[in-house]
Structure 1
Amino acid sequence: MKKRISFESIQQYASASKDAADIHLDAEAAACAGFKRPIAHGMYIMGLAQSLYIQAHPEQWITSYELRFSNPLYVESEVEFEFEVAADYILVKVTGEDGEMIASGTMSVKERQS
């Protein structure tokens, strides 16, 4: 599943989460911190992955979730979320537009009760 990470969505997340750190919103501050442009919030990426998974699997409920970040996800870039069933959990991979691994982890899910 591919998704474009827009500056507008990061601004909205910063406002809602009250995390307006300059590395997310200001190119100059991001550059001073060693990034080529502003970066997405880690919790935004985690929430987006959960949301995309549940949209595709509305019969399931996420009971636990772990994601480890290996690279920043730059604002105004495309990201791919991959979900793979493995034993009793879901493998999650987040890959940037250049093919670099942004994050990986696992989700535990169960069927929703009616």
Structure 2
Amino acid sequence: MKKRITYEAIRQYAAASKDMADIHLDIEIANRAGFKRPIVHGMYIMGLAQSLYMIEHPTKWITSYDMKFQKPLLVDSEITFVYKGSFGVIQVSVTDDVGEVIASGTLSVKERLQ
């Protein structure tokens, strides 16, 4: 599943999470840190991975998760989430718009109780 991470989404996430660090919101600060644009919050990526999985698998419930970040993601990038597995432990891989892995991990899932 593909998703474009917009400046507006990151501004909304920053306000909701109260993580207003300039590296996520300010182009000049991001430039000084060596990035072309602000970088996306890692927790936003992890939360999005869980939300998108739940949308595609509405009968499943995530009981735990683990994600490791390999590289920063720039705001206004398109990312792809790939989920492998059908029950129990689901492998998730997140790649940027040039195909580089930015994060990977696992979701532990079970059937949702009715």
| Normalised-by-shorter TM-score class | over 0.9
2:71 corresponds to which residue?
Answer: 71
Q: Which runs of 5+ in 1 are unaligned?
A: none
Report percent identity of matched pairs: 63
SS in 2 for 1:72: coil
8 Å contact 2:23–2:39 — kept in the other structure? yes
Which residue in 1 is equivalent to 2:33? 33
Equivalenced residues, count: 114
How far is 1:39 from its partner? 0.6
Other-structure match for 1:109: 109
Residue in structure 1 matched with residue 15 of structure 2 by the alignment: 15
Q: Which amino acid aligns with 1:14?
A: A
Q: CA shift at 1:85, angstroms?
A: 0.3
2:87, 2:48 → 1: CA distance? Answer: 23
Displacement, 1:88?
Answer: 3.1
1:86 to partner: Cα distance: 6.8
Please say if 1:89 is aligned against 2:111.
no
What's the secondary structure of 1:61's corresponding residue?
strand
Q: Structure 1 residue runs of 4+, over 3 Å off? A: none
The amino acid across from 1:103 in the alignment is A
Cα RMSD over matched residues? 1.1
Per the TM alignment, residue 69 of structure 1 is displaced from its structure 2 partner at its CA by 0.2
Aligned to 1:14, what secondary structure does the other structure show?
helix
Question: Any idea what SS the aligned residue of 1:99 has?
Answer: coil
Residues 62 and 110, structure 2, Cα contact 8 Å, conserved in 1: yes
SS of residue matched to 1:16: helix
Gaps of 5+ in 2: none
SS at match of 1:83: strand
Following TM superposition, by how much is the alpha carbon of 1:87 offset from its aligned partner in structure 2, in angstroms? 7.1
C-alpha separation in 2, matches of 1:39 and 1:99: 17
Compared CA separation, residues 64 and 73, structure 1 to 2 (3 A): same
Q: What is the CA distance between 1:33 and its match in structure 2?
A: 1.5
